[in-house]
Copies of this chain bind each other. A is one copy, B any other.
Amino acid sequence: MTPAIPVETANVSAMLARGRTLVTPVLRAAIDRLAPPMNTVAAYHFGWIDVEGNPSASDGGKAVRPALALLSAEAAGAAPEVGLPGAVAVELVHNFSLLHDDLMDGDEQRRHRDTVWKVHGPDQAVLVGDALFALANEILLELGTVDAGRATRRLATATRRLIDGQAQDIAYEQRGRVNVQECLDMEGNKTGALLACSVSIGAVLGGVDDRTADTLETYGYHLGLAFQAVDDLLGIWGDPLATGKRPWSDLRQRKKSLPVVAALAAGGPASERLAHILAADANRDEKTDDIADFDEEEFASRAALIEEAGGREWTSQEARRQHATAIEALHDVDMPAAVRAQLVALADFVVVREG
Contacts and interface: CB of A to CB of B under 8 A. Distances in A.
A141 B153 contact: yes
Contact of A144 (B34, B141, B149): B149
A55 to B, nearest CB: 23
Interface stretch (A12-20, A64-72, A165-173, A277-285): A165-173
A126 interface: yes
Given A141-B156, A149-B152, A171-B37, A103 B131 contact: no
A23 to B, nearest CB: 19
Contacts of A166: 127
B34 A164 contact: yes
Contacts of A160: 33-34, 131, 134-135, 138
B130 A163 contact: yes
Contact size class for A? 35 or more
A38 interface: yes
Contacts of A36: 167, 171
A142 B153 contact: yes
Nearest to A158: B134
Interface in A164-214: 164-168, 170-171, 189
Interface string A241-265: 0000000000000000000000000
Given A131-B167, A135-B156, A144-B149, 6 more contacts: A34-B164, A133-B133, A133-B134, A134-B156, A138-B160, A146-B146
A331 B25 CA distance: 43
A166 to B, nearest CB: 6
How many copies of the shown chain assemble into the complex? 2
Overall SS of chain A's interface: helix
A315 interface: no
B127 A130 contact: no
Interface of A: 33-38, 96, 100, 103-104, 122-123, 126-127, 129-131, 133-135, 137-138, 141-142, 144-146, 148-150, 152-153, 155-157, 159-160, 163-168, 170-171, 189
A179 to B, nearest CB: 16
Nearest to A125: B126
A242 B165 CA distance: 42
Interface centre among A96, A100, A130, A150 (most CB of B within 10 A): A130
A233 to B, nearest CB: 26
B38 A164 contact: yes
Given A144-B150, A146-B146, A168 B137 contact: no
